[in-house]
Each structure stands twice: as C-alpha cells, then as structure tokens.
Amino acid sequence: MIYMPNLPSLGSKAPDFKANTTNGPIRLSDYKGNWIVLFSHPGDFTPVCTTEFLCFAKYYDEFKKRNTELIGLSVDSNSSHLAWMYNISLLTGVEIPFPIIEDRDMRIAKLYGMISKPMSDTSTVRSVFIIDNNQILRTILYYPLTTGRNIPEILRIVDALQTSDRDNIVTPANWFPGMPVILPYPKNYKELKNRVNSCNKKYSCMDWYLCFVPDNYNDEEVSKKIDNTCSWKKEHTKNIENECNCEHEHHDYLNKALDCKQEHKTDIKDDCNHEKKHTKNTNKVHNSKQDKFKDKSCDEMNFNYDKDESCDKINSSYNKEDSSYEDFYKHNYKNYDYTSEKNTKKIAMKTLKDSKKLVRPQITDPYNPIVENANCPDINPIVAEYVLGNPTNVDAQLLDAVIFAFAEIDQSGNLFIPYPRFLNQLLALKGEKPSLKVIVAIGGWGAEGFSDAALTPTSRYNFARQVNQMINEYALDGIDIDWEYPGSSASGITSRPQDRENFTLLLTAIRDVIGDDKWLSVAGTGDRGYINSSAEIDKIAPIIDYFNLMSYDFTAGETGPNGRKHQANLFDSDLSLPGYSVDAMVRNLENAGMPSEKILLGIPFYGRLGATITRTYDELRRDYINKNGYEYRFDNTAQVPYLVKDGDFAMSYDDALSIFLKTQYVLRNCLGGVFSWTSTYDQANILARTMSIGINDPEVLKEELEGIYGQF
C-alpha cells in the first residue's frame, strides 16, 4: 500500500492554525493581505537546514519587497529553534528574522501533509507552501531530506504568481521577471482573429494560442499607435521596450516572440530589414545588446552556477544595482563556506582529535532515557538544571530533573519558599514529561540556619520533618541540601567546628524521615579544603542519591593575575590555577569515598573574570563573543574557551564544544550525569540543549560540531 499524506488542494483555502514560534504566538489568518512562504524542516536540524536558513535569511528583504512573509516550521521545540538560530548567528553573523513554528504534536505538519511515512512517521520532509494574500494555497513543493531547496527558485515562483495575478497572463518556461509573458487564451473567435491578423498590437503571436507580451505592460501602451513600418524603437530604461510594426500579408505569418521579427512557419523572406537565419524553429535575436527579450535555449536558460553573488558571501548584497534581474537569480553554492571567518572557526582541531573514544549511549524511552553507557552499562547518566527565578524558558524534554533554587530557613528555623509561583510552574512541567523530577534546593550561598538546624538531635529531626512536610505539600520528588559551607563563615553565615560531623547527622535524619524513595542530594565542591573541613564524603555517600559537584567558580575568590584564569577548566593548563580542574575535583571526591555514579558534574551557564565580574551566557553571546573587541580563544589543554581583549585574558566560560567534551568525560568516567547553574542565564536553551544531547545522543552533537569545526 502506497501512503499518500493528506495534501491540501491547490486553489483551496490554506488551513488556518495558531502556533508558538521563535517570534511569539502567531495565527496564519493574521497574515491575510500578505503572501506567505511556509516551509518545513526535518526534526533535529540538519546541515542542509543550516544552508537553507542562511539563504532564506539573505533573501528575506527580497521577499518583503514582494509583500511576502517567510514562516519556518519543524517538530522540534522552540528552545531548539532558538539554539539553532543562535548557532547560525554565532558562526556566520547572519540573524534569522522570520518566525519558526514549534510543531511538537505535528498538528500543523499533518494538516498540511508534511509527514511522509515511508521516510519518517515523526519528522517533516522539506516542503514549501506558497499562500497568496487571500489565504489561497497556490504552490506546493516537496524535496527529499538530502536535497536543499533552491531559494531563488521559490522567489521566482512568487514573482511569477504575482505577475500572473496582476497582469492576467501566464509565464513561459524558464521565465524571469523582465522577460516576455504569455497572454491567456482568447475569449472568443473575434479576439482570436484580431490577435493573429493585426500587427497594431503590443503582442507577438507564434500562433493563435501562443502570444507574447513584454512583462510589466500597461493600458497606455496598448492604446499607442504603432507605425506600420519595419522600425525598431528602443528605450534605455530598466525594462527595455522593443516595439515593432511589420507589415505582412498572411495571418500565418509568425510574430516571433522576444524580437518582434515576423516570419512564416515555413522558410519565407523576413519583411523587416534585419539580418536573420531561417529555420522553422529558430528564434530571431535583435542585434541590440540591451534587448531584454533575447531568446535562449533551455540549456542557456538553466541556472548558471558561476556567479559571485552567492549565499557564501555572507556580508555582500545579493541584488547589486549594476546586475540584471536575471543575474539576481543565479548563484554559486558549490564553494559555500558554511563557517564564519571569525576566530570561532579556528577552534584547535587538536582538542577534538585528541579527545578519547566517543561514548554513545542508547535511548530506549522518549520520556525517561535509559542509557547504556559502553564503559559502565549499569549507569544511566541524567541531565539536571538548577532554576533560579522565572522558569518560563525551561524545556522539560531536555531534562531529567529540575532543581528549584531556593527554599530558605527563616530566623525561627522554619522552611519557606519565597516564590511558590515559580515552583508551581516547574511542577506543571510534569504534564509535558511525567518522568521529570522536581527537586527543591534548600540554602544557597549566604543562606543562614543550617548550623543551628544540624546542632542537636531535636533540631535535626525538626528540620527533617519540615522537609518532609514541604515534599508532601508540593508533591516534590525530593530535595537538595546546598549548605555553603559546613564549618565555614566565608559567606557570612553562622558556623561551628562540629558542623562537618553534624552535616552527616542532619542528612541521616532527613533520609530517615523522607524515606529511601525520595531524592536527596548535596551541592558541594571537590577541593581538598571542602573534603577535609566541610563534609565526611565517605559517610554521606551511602545516604545521598547524588553529589552535585559545583565544578566551577575556581577563580571566584581571586584578583589580579590569578583572577585571569579559567573558572571551570576540565584539565590543568598554563591558564588554570594549580590543582584546580574539573578532573582534579572528581578524583578528589572518588578518593574520599564518593562513588563516581553519584557525582553530577556542574556546568556554568555564565562567564567569570576573577572575584568581581560575571556575565550570563546570554550577555556573552550578545555583547562579548567576538564583539566589542573581545576575541574568542580555545585552550586545547584545559579544553575550555575563553575571551581575550587587547591581548589579555578577559573572560572564562563554557560553550558547546567544551560542554561536549565534559559530557564525554562524564560518560567515559562513569559519572552520574550533569547539571547546570542556571537556566536563567541561558534563556534560549542553547547550552541546555547541548548538555542534553551530549549525554543522551552524543553522535548527534558530534555531527553538529563537525559541521562547524570539521571532521574529528
């Protein structure tokens, strides 16, 4: 049985819909009065999609000149689309100005027949729907996944449709704007005879059914009296008007299209005094170089891929003033350089080539990925995210757990949640992904109350019962204890010498009260000071589910030269503080008794320069990365990026490449997973998506990175 998608019919009303997009919610009917090019992309945008996005963006202004709006669509999430748009901007400097629809439930895809079951049940093919200003579907195009669309051809179709509507004509094969067009069939016999017998017309007929007129003609031209002589009148305007009136004796004389020279279907003498060669099917060409209606064979009319005005000229105009309209449509794609000339293109390949064997986990369930790690098959690494503030950008499909930050302890020792509305928004995400764990973190930097809560058996169990009450009240999956730090007053909190031992006792009481089925984690560091003074790692390991390793902020207390170092380097290098690396902290924890499968590796979604300067990832990509004098660099040894300005180290941060390398480290070393601090700093979910794919499907991320940096 051959499957045919439900296609809307040409000439029918385009199905209306409402959808969320990268530009906000839209409704198709709101665009009435504009033409629309609605085009779909496969899920998990491919390299081909990147090239199409670039060219659609470059032609955006040309479509706008034609009162035409571009609307993209895929079955990916809005956050995925935003990440892809940012990736394109980062690599090429090209901004994507048109909206992209997230069609997660494939409602619109099915409405328009974008799903081809022989290829995929869940992914749209490359389709194009051209909808006119009355919301009538005028064109449907389908492309295989392996073949990119010709954007100039789509623009040409819009021109052809609009020209047909405006002038009541049709367009011939290989037509470009400025070339002759074809009159529709005559309405009656009298009109037929007038066409073929009269030379006092603006049109030239090869036969009664095939009459050509210049493009962009008007009624004033029709009323002009054309001399009955064999003369040529040339006007050097944008669209050259060739007028010819040649006397003839028989209605079978052919008014040759494009040069107005008339000849009989058989070989007869031309009445016009112009040099010609007679064959039955030869089109005469006027000897003027400015003849816009020059006839061309089909081979000559095909796109010529030898022009310089191609999409790979990222910063050049596609429509040069001195180029003809026909040239505007001809582009060279074969030498397209899809990477930027900026320093981001120059990521050292040594880092990629020297990275160890790619570990590919296998996803068996879309809601709760059960991952088989080649090095440690019993470990299913997870992806978590701390959420500080408004959670509107959190994408549940990217995560296994969200950790609300923070619940606090008041002066009376009671727990409270400052922003319950935000917590309820996170809990609502379970409707999208039932397996999502919603955790509340208690504490944070500078949070008081822990030392008192952990001081005595009574205080410990009072605190544990409050924790359990909060879990039950909000139907939480568990809690995270973020005491920064037991035995230390560095953040200005109360501390006691016995805090280290009391911390273990507090966790024991909490586990005893909430039970073994609830999540219990601890946020801490892996430096030797923390291990020796703040936490009994070997004793808390059996109690907790995860140790959330804050493997960042290495330079948070540094100024001067030490402040100009990496804050979250994977390995040591000349640009890192001695003894401070992600790898060193993991090894310290393992040596102290924390099983690797309980360690979640923390990834910062922000940049840092020493103790005083931090910037969110959103700020970095907007104002810093290869902007305003900041230049991108990558430390091959430390395996993290950084920025320099005027030759000096100016910012440490993480990007897609370093996150890929860190997720590979997690898989290779059998860690429990990753988490980020914090979702608020990555509103487009660019890094969150990278982190998620890096754990759940690293081959996909590898292919994306190879598309940017080359094969490795």
DSSP conformational letter for 225: P
Residue 651, phi then psi, degrees to nearest 5:
-170, 140
Distance CA(606)–CA(243), nearest Å, equals 68
Pick the CATH number of 343-709 from 3.90.1150.10, 3.40.50.10090, 3.20.20.10, 3.20.20.80: 3.20.20.80
Helix (H, G, I), strand (E, B) or coil at 351: helix
Residues 138-147: contacts with CB within 8 Å, 24+ apart?
Answer: 138/10, 138/11, 139/10, 140/7, 140/8, 140/10, 142/116, 144/119, 145/42, 145/46, 145/48, 145/119, 146/48, 147/48
Q: What is the CA radius of gyration of the chain?
A: 34
Distance CA(291)–CA(237), nearest Å, equals 11
Amino acid (1-letter code) at residue 238: K
Instruction: Write out the H or E segment, with its range, that includes residue 688.
Output: helix 686-696
The pLDDT assigned to 212 comes to 81
Residue spans per domain, the chain? 18-167, 175-295, 343-709
259 CB-contact burial (10 Å; exposed 0-12 / middle 13-18 / buried 19+)? buried
Distance CA(83)–CA(516), nearest Å, equals 38
| 126 labeled binding residue | yes
Q: pLDDT digit string (tens) for 265-280?
A: 333 334 334 334 333 3
Distance CA(145)–CA(113), nearest Å, equals 15
Distance CA(248)–CA(270), nearest Å, equals 9
Which architecture, in CATH terms, is 18-167? Answer: 3-Layer(aba) Sandwich (3.40)
Q: pLDDT digit string (tens) for 7-56?
A: 678 989 999 999 999 888 899 998 999 999 999 887 666 788 888 888 99
Which residues, other chains included, contact 293 with Cβ-Cβ below 8 Å and sequence gap of 6+?
A: 179, 180, 214, 240, 242, 257, 258, 259, 286
Taking the CB of residue 29, how many other CB atoms lie within 10 A of it?
12
Question: How do strand 18-19 and strand 478-484 relate by DSSP bridges?
Answer: unpaired
Distance CA(449)–CA(477), nearest Å, equals 23
Closest CA relative to residue 403, chosen from 590, 600, 538: 600
Sequence-ordered strand ranges (E) for 266-419:
382-388, 401-409, 415-416
The pLDDT assigned to 580 comes to 97
Instruction: Write out the H or E segment, with its range, that includes residue 600.
Output: strand 599-604
Which ranges of the chain have pLDDT less than 50? Answer: 1-5, 118-122, 200, 218-372
The pLDDT assigned to 254 comes to 31
Closest CA relative to residue 312, chosen from 341, 333, 330, 343: 333
Catalytic residues: 49
Residues in the chain: 712
Distance CA(432)–CA(398), nearest Å, equals 11
Distance CA(294)–CA(534), nearest Å, equals 85
Closest CA relative to residue 15, chosen from 107, 115, 140, 111: 111
pTM beyond 0.85: no
